[in-house]
Amino acid sequence: MLGQIKKIISDYGPQFRSNNCKTLTSILGIELGFTAVYHPATNPVERVMWELGRLFRMYCNDHHSHWAVIVNDVHRLINSCCHEGTGATPMELLCMGKPSTVLQSTLNFLLSDEVLVATHHLSSLVNTQINKFFKLFEGPYHTGNVVGHNVYKVNNGICYQQFSGNLVLPVL
């Protein structure tokens, strides 16, 4: 942490609205702010939790107990991503310099690397299928050659298809 905390932004959880919390933050000179009720988009913590859920669901879908093995990689990945609001990564903001990241390797696949490919299933009332229950990624598949800047051919077991690099992730 760099310097003293100036403000804490929280949801409307009772622990943050309590008199104890208000008193403690007042004594410490910390401003206490709240996000809009029932509006998760205004809560940066909820956004991070959503992203963590997405990453763990992607990498631990078949092996739920695998999360502890990859938690450090996920931590490094999140701290290496450029934030829209600041234009920098958390590592840069904490004066650790430009990160050497897991992300850099995801954009430079070699021939026959194992990858996962993003899926885009639609809900179907007829088949009683709900899109939120489908896997977000399928695979593992193997990469073919690089088609263009950040475009890869991927062998799905039947044929080769082209995918943008943002739809292809490495198998950890």
pLDDT in tens, 100-131: 544 444 446 778 888 888 887 788 888 777 77
Q: Give the pLDDT band (50/70/90) at residue 1.
A: very low
Residues 172, 166: Cα–Cα separation, whole Å: 16
Instruction: Count Cβ atoms below 10 Å from residue 170 Cβ, excluding itself.
Output: 17
Contact between 55 and 47 (Cβ < 8 Å): no
The 10 Å CB-count burial string (b at 16+, else e) for 69-105 is: eeeeebeebbbbeeeeeeeebebbeeeeeebebbeee
Encoding tokens for residue 152?
Answer: 């890869």
The per-residue pLDDT for range 38-90, each reduced to its tens digit, is: 676 677 777 777 788 888 877 776 677 777 888 888 887 787 777 777 788 88
Residues 106, 132: Cα–Cα separation, whole Å: 25
Domains of the chain: 7-38 (no CATH), 43-105 (no CATH), 109-170 (2.30.30)
Burial of 150 (C-beta count, 10 Å sphere; 0-12/13-18/19+): middle
Query: What pTM value is reported for the model?
Result: 0.43
